[in-house]
Chains A and B, each alone.
Chain A
Amino acid sequence: MAKKGWDEFEIGAMLRTFDGKIDDIAGTRQEDRAYSQNSSYTASVADWRLIKPVFNKDYCIDCQFCWIYCPDVSIVSRDKKLIGVDMDHCKGCGICVEVCPTNPKSLLMFPEQADEETEIANWPKKDEGEA
């Protein structure tokens, strides 16, 4: 965000999350909210990542373990279905992969530069050794 001069911001270093008014935050999905430029929702930490999760929906059972345990609100679930990973906010911690219960896993970590389509095409097979 552009650096402002001393006379250009709200007094008290106060920040507003939304532009205008919001009636029911808990009932409004993120994509339907009018975030102000001061919400970190509008920022990105993608450059923190060395490794990234790739989601393969073919194996996903929509258990939502990854949704609940994601520290960065980066697992996007809508209507009880996992629809993807928010790559602006994912820091690449890998928790989602750890907690994924499917076999093979529906999420795996790859180097940041890896090509998603290639990795999905080469997805590991079911590990028969696993109980």
Chain B
Amino acid sequence: MAFQKMELKDIEVWDGNRAAAQALRQAQVDVVAAYPITPSTPIVEGYAQFTADGYVEGEFVMVESEHAAMSACIGAAAAGGRVATATSSQGLALMSETLYQASGMRLPIVLNLVNRALASPLNVNGDHSDMYMIRDSGWIQFDAYCPQEVYDLNLMAFKVSEDHDIRLPVIVNQDGFMTSHTAQGVRPLSDDEAYAFVGEYNPMNDMLDFEHPVTHGVQTEEDWHFEHKARQHNDLMTKAMPKILEVFADFEKQTGRKYNPVEKYDMDDADVCVVCMGSSVETAREVASEMRANGIKAGVVGLRVVRPIPFFEIADALKDVKAIAALDRSSPNGAAGMLFNEIAGALFNTNTKALLSGYVYGLGGRDLTKAHLVALYNELQANADAGKVTTQLQQFIGVRGPKLAFL
């Protein structure tokens, strides 16, 4: 059956959801099984419209829940073809059981996760609670800070996920509303260029190969389970990152757009820096430039690859700074923030004398303002000048009421 290609302008005005839907269309996904949830719904709707207008040759199934969406994705991926879906927040929570099953079975699936707060209380806006919740689920996780990156990382996600040495599902994160619903200029590839970049799907252990029957989803008890989990962790730790770097390099060759596991901005001579994810990286970059005009050598580090964690790249990016702020957009609920802990882990056992403090911000879509960041950079400079963290190690910023600080 034929399908139509779409003529795209050099620069399209797309929000993050549109960018994701377009990338899925161009990748000629074989099966999309999905369920709508704010704020990722427009990805699913957009893809449905592409299907209705004859731009999609693959199958699109609207199932009855997110758990079923990922269940169908797993069945489809095991059958042997390209598979993708999208969700947010509660939807991710509902499908979380199957996320471990998808990665444990080593099935390539691309999931667009439009980050949103987790209830209760219910909230439809962007924070990173959902991203954090499934960080140990064995999926590779990319983080996009703007619609262009959503588009680019989707195309790259298939290439990493489907590689026979990798065969791990990939999540592309973007901030709910801040990225998903904010239209910006996006430079797309043509349909042919994009598909050529992603490449033909190359099946492996496919159920639909009737000459080689396979059993997927076995039980392993104490005599085998540890070895299988160890194998998966090994492949994430040793195989995934080299492949990601290779795909990033291929993409740069084709588009000139360069991606790194850890993105550094103004870091060459920075004394103080914030480490964050999502659209906050862009806000922080702007503030860092302004701080520099005021004599503070400010920098920004953004995590592009969340899993596998770029452990040594983080340490390397931060080795020469004096004070670091880890910005976590998820309530740690009784611990230091995830980024705080990851950075602390990466820097421990190194020669750095850098001071590390953590900030919890932006829950439920609360804005991270430039004023917040100015105050934060000044606090870091004060830490650097004093040679010690002058505040408590964990502070909440942007929340009303008496100041919250811990540790």
Contact = CB atoms under 8 A, between A and B. Distances in A.
Partners in one complex: yes
Nearest to B106: A12
B228 A14 contact: no
A10 B204 CA distance: 11
B218 A13 contact: yes
A13 B235 contact: no
B104 A9 contact: no
Contact of B214 (A5, A16, A21): A16
A9 to B, nearest CB: 7
B234 A12 contact: no
B220 A13 contact: yes
Interface string B208-241: 0001111111101001101110111011000000
Contacts of A25: 213
A14 B105 contact: yes
Interface in B88-130: 104-107
A22 B212 CA distance: 7
Contacts of A21: 211-212
A14 B214 contact: yes
Contacts of A64: none
Contacts of B167: 11-12
Given A3-B223, A4-B227, A6-B228, A11 B215 contact: no
Interface string A1-43: 0011111011111111110011101000000000000100000
Nearest to B218: A13
Contact of B212 (A4, A7, A16): A16
Nearest to A5: B227
B218 A15 contact: yes
A22 B211 CA distance: 5
How big is the B interface, by class?
20 to 34
B205 A10 contact: yes
Contacts of B223: 3
Q: What DSSP secondary structure best describes chain A's contact surface?
A: loop
Contacts of B105: 12-14
A84 to B, nearest CB: 27
B223 to A, nearest CB: 7
Interface residues of A, number: 20
B195 to A, nearest CB: 26
A29 to B, nearest CB: 16
Contact of B228 (A13, A22, A38): A13
Contacts of B227: 4-6, 9
B105 to A, nearest CB: 5
Contacts of A10: 205
B200 to A, nearest CB: 21
A11 B231 contact: yes
B266 to A, nearest CB: 41
B106 A11 contact: yes
Which are the 8 A-B pairs with shortest beta-carbon distances? A12-B106, A6-B227, A21-B211, A6-B230, A15-B215, A11-B106, A12-B105, A6-B231
Given A6-B227, A9-B227, A12-B105, A17 B211 contact: no
Contacts of A6: 226-228, 230-231, 234
Given A11-B235, A16-B214, 12 more contacts: A3-B224, A4-B227, A9-B228, A10-B205, A12-B104, A12-B105, A12-B167, A13-B104, A13-B224, A14-B205, A15-B215, A17-B214
Contacts of B226: 6
B231 A7 contact: yes
B212 A18 contact: yes
Contact of A23 (B211, B215, B234): B211
A16 B223 CA distance: 20
B405 to A, nearest CB: 44
A5 B231 CA distance: 9
Interface string B179-218: 0000000000000000000000000010000011111111
Contacts of B107: 12
A5 B220 CA distance: 14
Contact of A16 (B213, B220, B230, B232): B213
B320 to A, nearest CB: 38
Given A3-B223, A6-B230, A12-B105, A17 B235 contact: no
